[in-house]
Amino acid sequence: MPGMEPINALHVSEPGLLVVEVAAADDETALAFQDAVAARWATATADRTTHEPGQPGVRLRFYLDLRQEIGTEQPGAGPPGSQLG
């Protein structure tokens, strides 16, 4: 699978929006980290990791909105094009 796509300016267009890229030894570890973050903040999660041949481990990218903690209601929060808003 080819490398990750470039970060789009819309993903970080406002303070509090983050693109999180994780490098981990395996799928289980990367997805567990994503789940832990998603339990606290509004997160557009990834379904799978990527692996580049010849490189160790796996990578995962997801989008996070620090402005909206889980349990709060802020309509429209989240990166443009995400399922958060």
Q: Is the pLDDT of residue 77 over 60?
A: no
What pLDDT is stored for residue 1 in this prediction? 40
Q: Is the pLDDT of residue 51 over 90?
A: yes
Please state the rounded mean pLDDT for residues 12-24: 88
Closest CA to 41 of 7, 15, 16: 16
Q: pLDDT band at residue 78, thresholds of 50, 70 and 90?
A: very low
Closest CA to 64 of 48, 82, 76: 82
pTM of the full structure: 0.69
Instruction: Identify how many contiguous H helices and E strands the chain contains and give both numbers.
Output: 1, 3
Q: For the chain, what is the mean pLDDT?
A: 80
Please state the rounded mean pLDDT for residues 68-73: 68
